[in-house]
Structure 1
């Protein structure tokens, strides 16, 4: 898939913001294990998405 640089930048900013919010709320869920697990999985997925966006940005600058 080809995405414009602007779209990748906007997606990266949105994911970084969401990731930050999730990471900040994680310590508050220590008593609720199911919500904690769900949030940990979301954080992992967001990190993967962020990594893929950064990879796509590098590829687009190299082309």
Structure 2
């Protein structure tokens, strides 16, 4: 599927925003009095952080490829 650079940049912006919120969520859970109680939420957030980080890498690579070919 082909996307325009503007679409990819907007997707990147949205993912970066969500990624920031997820990182703050992990910090909040870890700062709780009993962080082990939130272990599953922390694990889920960390997995999502990893997935979004991969997405950002791939979006950046796609933007670079498009810009090199134009």
> Shorter-chain TM-score: what band?
over 0.9
Instruction: Choose 1 or 2 for highest CA Rg.
Output: 2
* 1:5 and 2:5 aligned: yes
Q: Could you tell me how far 1:25 is from its partner in structure 2? A: 1.3
Which blocks of at least 5 consecutive residues in structure 1 are unaligned?
none
**What is the root-mean-square deviation in Å for CA atoms of aligned residues?**
0.8
Q: Any stretches of 5+ residues in structure 2 without a counterpart?
A: none
For residues 34-45 of structure 1, what are the structure 2 equivalents within 5 Å? Answer: 34-45=40-51
Q: How far off is 1:28 after superposition?
A: 1.7
After TM superposition, the structure 1 = structure 2 runs for residues 8-27 of structure 1, keeping only pairs within 5 Å, are 8-27=8-27
TM-score w.r.t. structure 1 length? 0.94
Cα deviations across residues 14-58 of structure 1 (Å, max 9, x unaligned)?
000000111111112231100100000000000000000000000
The normalised TM-score by structure 2 is 0.85
1:28 maps to 28
Structure 2 distance, partners of 1:10, 1:29, is 29
**4+ residue segments displaced more than 4 Å:** none
